[in-house]
Homo-oligomer: A and B are copies of this chain.
Amino acid sequence: MKKKVLVVGGVAGGATAVARLRRLDEEAEIILFERDPYVSFANCGLPYYIGGTIAERDKLLLQTPESFKNRFNIDVRVHSKVVAVDAEKKEVTVTTSDGTTYSESYTHLILSPGAKPFIPPIKGIDMPRILSLRNVPDTDRIKEMVDLQTTKDVVVIGGGFIGVEMAENLIDIGMQTHLVEAAPHILAPFDSEISTMLEDELTKHGIGLHLGKKAVEFTEKEDRVTIHFESGESIDADLVILSIGVQPDTQFLVNSGIKLDERGRIITNEYLETNYSNVYAVGDAIMVEHHVLSGKAHIPLAGPANRQGRIVANNIALKQRERFNPVLGSSILKIFDLAAASTGSNERALMQAGIPYQPIYIHPNSHATYYPGATSLTIKLLYHPETHVVLGAQAIGENSVDKFIDVIAMAMHFNATVYDLADAELTYAPPYSSAKSPVNMAGFVARNIIEGLMPHARFEEALNLDLSKQILLDVRDDAEVKALKLNHSIHISVNELRHGRESELDKSKEILVYCAVGVRGYIATRYLLSKGFKVRNIMGGMKLASGYNIK
């Protein structure tokens, strides 16, 4: 029987699915419904068009209904909103922009409706100067507003990926920009000591940060919006952009017979089938298994959506039962001169999930320091203290952040242990990396801890000393100590320690050692251990200080 495949939603997962499907099955009838005027647009590029980095609007449109028709013989219907699905009758109901409503039957249905901006029920939130960003028309609307001579300042509410990218792009076009986040820190995929570094980058570039501020009301006066916070404070702006989060755009499925969870997300099995085996769902509207955390996760990212679209096409056309594997949530974003990336779980989520973990920090250079242009990165790696399996990694820096996190993500696909990272054989030449890659270094540090070679302390411990029992020892050089040091620290450089000055230390106390990145601290720790001291090295060293607001 000839297949008739209907697809709801023409971006990422949906667009991938139809192209793959046609390549696999020339005979199938394929109809793609999109409520908006555009399909297959560059979702992740929208903020950069507003900011002018992407200069031509046409670049946002990867495919058009015409290109899909010409190349793939896909019947793309834009301005066509699927308003209902009857999974028993295998039929969808479609409303077009001119008000016409009609039904279309299917043998297979692919749901790729995506997620829409979450608009909380806050008083005044529906005023026209409060916009949100999902699609090309939204982008046009925001661009039109910021292009007005009268628009001078903008408040972005929500410090997730889109909010932060939006704020950066608003700075790029000269807007006075504020970013409001209800949580204590922006960018939930990162732990707070890393997100603090990202916040510093935003502040450095002139973004007004308002952390831990919850908007409770919006009022308008003389073409300006005032955002009132729960704290009683307020700020005002010519324009407000909401990017508080997303929710699945699945209202049309409520009476379809297709199972949704309590938050409206489509429930699928590992083959991306819903409770109807001829109905599949992909993208931002579904839940997926998390590779590290047990249970389901919501990962609204382009990468998984695209791979899901491909798998669904395979499963329909090739009669395969191909599985969509659990996700790591690998993600990256540019923040001005920095990149920040993560994969797997962060410390906060591991703690919540009750999974034992050990963090380590390294601050390697992007490539050999003797070759020009090397820049510093911070990498936080989390692993399981018993199994030694890598649980997650976060990195921030100017260069090679994507590379090192991608390598770790690839390793995590195989449930790598830190020993695998230590043994990784990656490419090296001076312009690209170091003979001991940062990935190796992360493995080496973790091994030193596992093998009992490096008793370790967290940076927090240096800030919460019991001076009756502990000594804080700074083993850096004079100039570094002069620039910034921790309270209550005493200073003996690592080399001096070996040459007679260890005798200045009280053997009855525990010594917490620190340096800039942790390497000299480790050397000092090893030396003092050999001399019978009780000593621990503060992981990450002073390069973490800014993450604890010590500047």
A: residues with CB less than 8 A from B are: 12, 16, 23-27, 42, 44-45, 48, 53-54, 59-60, 62, 70-73, 161, 301-307, 310, 318, 325, 327-334, 339, 341, 343, 368, 370-372, 400, 402-403, 405-407, 409-411, 413-414, 416, 420, 422-433, 435-437, 439-440, 444, 451, 453, 494-495, 498-499, 522-523, 526-527, 530-531
Contacts and interface: CB of A to CB of B under 8 A. Distances in A.
Contact of A368 (B42, B414, B422, B425): B42
B330 A430 contact: no
A520 to B, nearest CB: 8
Given A26-B526, A435-B12, A436-B303, A325 B423 contact: yes
Query: Which of A343, A435, A499 has the most chain B CB within a 10 Å cutoff?
Result: A435
B409 A411 contact: no
A303 B527 contact: no
A48 B369 CA distance: 13
Contacts of A26: 526-527, 530-531
A435 B15 CA distance: 12
A54 B372 contact: yes
A370 B136 CA distance: 14
A433 B302 contact: no
A126 B173 CA distance: 64
Contact of A429 (B325, B334, B409, B440): B334
17 contacts: A23-B523, A24-B526, A161-B429, A303-B426, A306-B436, A325-B425, A331-B427, A332-B428, A332-B433, A334-B429, A343-B427, A402-B432, A403-B406, A407-B407, A411-B414, A413-B424, A414-B414
B432 A303 contact: no
Nearest to A520: B71
A406 to B, nearest CB: 5
The 5 tightest CB contacts between A and B, nearest first, are A26-B530, A332-B427, A302-B435, A414-B414, A403-B403
A428 B531 contact: no
Contacts of A527: 26
A12 B287 CA distance: 49
Contacts of A420: 413-414
Nearest to A327: B425
A371 B54 contact: yes
A418 to B, nearest CB: 13
A425 B330 contact: yes
